[in-house]
Amino acid sequence: MISVFGSANMDLVAYVPSAPKLGETVAGRAFRTIPGGKGANQAVAAARAGSQVAFIGAVGDDAFGPELRGALFEAGIDTSRLRVVPGPSGIAHIVVEDSGGNSIIVVPGANGSVTGCSAEDIEMIARSRALLLQLELPLEGVVEAARAARTAGVPVILTPAPVVELPDELLGAVDLIVPNEHEAAAITGAADPDDALKALLDRVPEAVITLGSRGALYGSRAGDRLLVPAVPVEAVDTTAAGDTFVGALATARSEGRSPADALRFASTAAALSVQREGASTSMPSRAEIDAALT
């Protein structure tokens, strides 16, 4: 079982010819509410890729709370550690222009209440084969979850997004960090992915830098280096490619696959996802990943 300690947001997506400027009102073409959040997306990706998954986080007592729980439940995810707190659920207000460009406002809502782990959360983490973390919850909560995993000997995989200053007390409990190339550059100050990888390995034992359509670069302190090319496909929507990659990577690692095999599995899952629209809607099943690998 994989635990995800992370955010659940309702994405409120308005499609407009062009985004309104301050003081302006524009007519939108369409509107959709889509369950999202990096934590929930990684949980769904891992479940589709074949893992049993438990989600630890919070939703509000508004109308979105049951919808967000329902989306996780439908994906077969254990939501027994998803708490309901007074106030609104987390939301991401997304404006998508006809040009394909977008602007996003994230309001953490209930996610902001997850400042630590309950005894039951710690027990869930300790029973896991891996803990997935991102940075859309308060940092003190993320640090506490990482420490709980470290104490129990459970591997911790961190997606450092959105980018914040990463304290040593967090990185000291992380086994594998998976930034995209922009995050890797922001964290290390090194624009070149090889240099960024070296700098990351000064702080964590293993790192993967995802490079979009150029693939993914893996390194370990033990001296391994791998550049896994992306699977060449016609991309229609790369939303949540990174979350699909991480969910699948965690699944493959928890099954004991080698780094090279786990990266191939993750790249294949992500390549399938970029050929379909949306976030969780684009994530492939285990059967689809296995078929594409053969």
Residue positions in the annotated binding site for K(+)? Answer: 237, 239, 273, 276, 278, 282
180 touches ligand ATP (CB under 6 A): yes
- Among the listed residues 62, 78, 175, 243, the single catalytic one is 243
243 is catalytic: yes
Q: Does 188 bind ligand ATP (CB under 6 A)?
A: no
Q: Of the ranges 14-22, 67-75, 235-243, 284-292, which one interacts with ligand ATP (CB under 6 A)?
A: 235-243
The one among 245, 248, 249, 252 contacting ligand ATP by CB under 6 A? 245
Q: What is the 3-state secondary structure (H, E, C) of the chain?
A: CEEEECCCEEEEEEEECCCCCCCCCCCCCEEEEEEECHHHHHHHHHHHCCCCEEEEEEEECCCHHHHHHHHHHHCCCEEEEEEEECCCCEEEEEEEECCCCEEEEEECHHHHHCCCCCHHHHHHHHCCCEEEECCCCCHHHHHHHHHHHHHHCCCEEECCCCCCCCCHHHHCCCCEECCEHHHHHHHHCCCCHHHHHHHHHCCCCEEEEECHHHCEEEEECCCCEEEECCCCCCCCCCCCHHHHHHHHHHHHHHCCCCHHHHHHHHHHHHHHHCCCCCCHHHCCCHHHHHHHHC
Binder of ligand ATP out of 85, 163, 186, 235 (CB under 6 A):
235
Stretch that binds ligand ATP, among 5-13, 149-157, 195-203, 209-217 (CB under 6 A): 209-217
Using CB under 6 A, pick the residue from 215, 219, 259, 284 that binds ligand ATP. Answer: 215
Active-site residue numbers? 243
Binding site for ligand ATP (CB under 6 A): 180, 210-213, 215-216, 230-231, 233, 235, 238-243, 245, 267, 270-271, 274
